[in-house]
Amino acid sequence: MTENQALERPLPLMPAAGHLTLSTGDTPVTAGPGCIDELKQIVGEAHVVDAPADVERRARVTIPRRKMPRAFVYPGSTAEVQQIVALANRHQILLWPCSTGRNWGYGAATPQVEGSLVVVLERIDRVLEVNEELAYAVIEPGVTYEQFNAYLKQHHPRLWIDCTDGPPNGSVLGNALERGIGETPNGDHFGCICGMEVVLPTGERIQTGGGAIDGLRTWNTHKWGTGPYLEGIFTQSNLGIVTKAGIWLMPEPEAYCSYIFEVYDAGRFPELVDTFRRLALQGVLQTKLHLINDVVLFTVLTQLKNENLGGQSFLTQTDIARLRDKYQVAPWAGGSGIYGTKDQVRYQKKVLRQELARFGRIEFMDRRKYHLVTALLPIVKRLRNNPTAKKLIDKTLRLTLKASVEMLEAAPRTYDILQGIPTEYFVSHAYFRSKMDKPFSKIDPAVDGCGLTWFAPILPLTVGDLVPFLDHCRQRFEAFGFNFYVAMLMMNARSIIALQAILFDRDKPDELERAEALYADLVSYLQGHGLQQYRTGVQCWDMLFDEAPEFLALNNKLKAALDPNNILSPGKCRIGAPQ
Ligand code: ADP
């Protein structure tokens, strides 16, 4: 793999250890020598990483550019976080807190301001409480999806988490604090947060909810508390470091099944959108339904380098038709889960079959089918090693199920994710343009030099909003030389995220520049059309709120009041940005 920095700005000159030169506002502030030593005294020497090569590796990103941090620090407790904040105020060090730093495509663990100290909370990783009766838990920021799911399976198997199709070792709270979304009826992750403990930029520990610290019995059951509701100001912001929070869980339902469906005729997309909105408003569709285009499936099922395209980086219509046929992929495919009593699930299956079968194939997967498919797949894959058997198997699957082996493999992964069991399977899409083979475990597209930027606009769930917007985006992707990748995630019955990945080869400077230019082009279109992203990354904060100066000014006032030294993630969402 070539190093990430090959295509980035040259690395900044690193200040000597213990001597940080940083700039907040117009005045550069220099922290005296010994800062790093002080940090080591707080968290222990093993938990500060300041050697430039190690910092460089940990600071890798999938987006085109990054700002190089000064060091990474890994506190082990809230008290240590408070001491770090105090030190930062004393020495004017800029802090960049994150939980696990795996929000690839939005900037990973890298800060908005060069030279910041990245505070990774992954060691603060306890599940502090699980309440089965009320179906919630209180967790720390280092708790990952993988760990949380395993913990509940072992100790409270009747409770399910909601995960994303992103990295299993990503933080549950990190995602919720960015207002990320998952897959089940609890997929609005911030919507399921109830009760936060926060270390403020001035070092005090507070709890939201308006009750006594550690004494409010509804802290994790009643979101709004007494008085102003403050939890929102600690999300997508830079006003505090969240050190624990309550999170609502899903009690294991009496019945569960997942389903996938296909839409053979792309021209019927508007009809599909109307169907979804109607079903969601009626409460028949209860979950974070995903609807993806063919390019998304190609990125999951294969890699460009394996498709004999002779170095070509763009799939033509002919290539797309060939890949659709090879992998039995429709122009659009979707999937979701159904949860409830046996009667509820039976009823919903009936309605969904009625409503969706007219667009194409719809397949449900329950536990029995899941076990059958996962037992048969390894045998089928082994048999396919023989070329004659492969032909026969592929033909049979095509005729009987309208599926490929690759597509069959994806179905059980979907079944898992929709019950909160995370998998790395879908993260591998980031390697579509990579020269290395997709890894099977411990996936880290940032370290592996993959190029991926997320563009995450959210729209009203109407044909009039969606269709012209998607046409525009597709046209812009193609004008910049990229295939259009869009995954539509239903946020609620009224709005939908049209999540788009710009996948690029970061070893090609021209491609990297085009990726950056396409992103800027898409963001500027939003601004002119009354639209925004549901979640943003470091790549676009300088561009935010041009059209909303009042909103930015209010946030800057809050920032100045809560963080007088502007030490906490200045510039995040453009708030407290160094001038
Ligand atoms: P992931 O779960 O994807 O690894 P990160 O840990 O990278 O998420 O967090 C994404 C962003 O959310 C961070 O860059 C930071 O701005 C914010 N964030 C994450 N965790 C916290 C936290 N505990 N307190 C405050 N902000 C946080």
How long is the chain? 579
Q: Can you give the pLDDT at residue 579?
A: 67
Residue pointed to by tokens 């060691």: 123
Q: Return d(Cα 340, Cα 443) in angstroms, integer.
A: 34
Question: pLDDT of 482-528, one tens digit each?
Answer: 999 999 999 999 999 999 999 999 999 999 999 999 999 999 999 88
Q: What are 284's two structure tokens?
A: 């028949």
Q: Is 241 in the pocket of ligand 1 (CB under 6 A)?
A: yes
For the CA of 141, the nearest atom of ligand 1: 23
Helix (H) or strand (E) holding 253: none
For the CA of 144, the nearest atom of ligand 1: 2
146-147-153-154 Cα dihedral, nearest 10 degrees: 150
Helix (H) or strand (E) holding 323: helix 317-327
Cα of 103 to ligand 1 centre, how many Å? 8
Q: Is 97 in the pocket of ligand 1 (CB under 6 A)?
A: yes
440-441-447-452 Cα dihedral, nearest 10 degrees: 60
SS3 199: strand
Q: Return d(Cα 570, Cα 538) in angstroms, integer.
A: 11
Cα of 174 to ligand 1 centre, how many Å? 4
Q: Whose CA is nearest to atom 15 of ligand 1?
A: 98
- Edge-to-edge strand list for the sheet holding 48-49: 48-49, 71-73, 117-120, 95-98
Q: Return d(Cα 502, Cα 299) in angstroms, integer.
A: 12
Q: Is 576 in the pocket of ligand 1 (CB under 6 A)?
A: no
Pocket test for ligand 1, best of 73, 78, 98 (most atoms within 8 A of CB): 98
Q: Is 174 in the pocket of ligand 1 (CB under 6 A)?
A: yes
Q: Return d(Cα 275, Cα 490) in angstroms, integer.
A: 13
Q: Is 177 in the pocket of ligand 1 (CB under 6 A)?
A: yes
28-33-38-44 Cα dihedral, nearest 10 degrees: 110
500 beta partners? 455, 486
SS3 281: helix
206 beta partners? 198
Cα of 177 to ligand 1 centre, how many Å? 7
Buried b (16+ CB within 10 A) or exposed e, 418-446: bbbbbbbbbbbbbbbbbeeebeeeebbbb
Rounded to whole angstroms, what are the CA distances from 223 to 191, 205, 246, 431?
9, 19, 10, 40
Cα of 494 to ligand 1 centre, how many Å? 27
Q: Whose CA is nearest to atom 4 of ligand 1?
A: 102
Helix (H) or strand (E) holding 423: none
Q: Whose CA is nearest to atom 8 of ligand 1?
A: 174
For the CA of 569, the nearest atom of ligand 1: 16
Specify the pTM.
0.92
Contact 396, 268 (CB under 8 A): no
Q: What are phi and psi of 27, to 5 degrees?
A: -100, 115
Q: Return d(Cα 400, Cα 380) in angstroms, integer.
A: 15
Q: Is 171 in the pocket of ligand 1 (CB under 6 A)?
A: yes
The secondary structure of residue 252, as a DSSP letter, is P
Cα of 126 to ligand 1 centre, how many Å? 17
Question: pLDDT of 57-111, one tens digit each?
Answer: 999 999 999 999 999 999 999 999 999 999 999 999 999 999 999 999 999 999 9
29 beta partners? 22
Q: Can you give the pLDDT at residue 396?
A: 84
Cα of 241 to ligand 1 centre, how many Å? 9
Closest CA to 443 of 186, 152, 170: 170
Q: Is 538 in the pocket of ligand 1 (CB under 6 A)?
A: no
Q: Whose CA is nearest to atom 14 of ligand 1?
A: 98
In degrees, rounded to 5, the angle at the alpha carbon of residue 344 between the alpha carbons of residues 342 and 347 is 105
Q: Is 175 in the pocket of ligand 1 (CB under 6 A)?
A: yes
- Segments in the chain below pLDDT 70: 1-33, 579
SS3 522: helix
Q: Return d(Cα 170, Cα 301) in angstroms, integer.
A: 22
Q: Is 141 in the pocket of ligand 1 (CB under 6 A)?
A: yes
Closest CA to 81 of 211, 245, 209, 240: 240
What angle in degrees, to the nearest 10, is found between the helix axes of 317-327 and 294-301?
60
The secondary structure of residue 233, as a DSSP letter, is G
Q: Return d(Cα 84, Cα 97) in angstroms, integer.
A: 11
Q: Is 286 in the pocket of ligand 1 (CB under 6 A)?
A: no
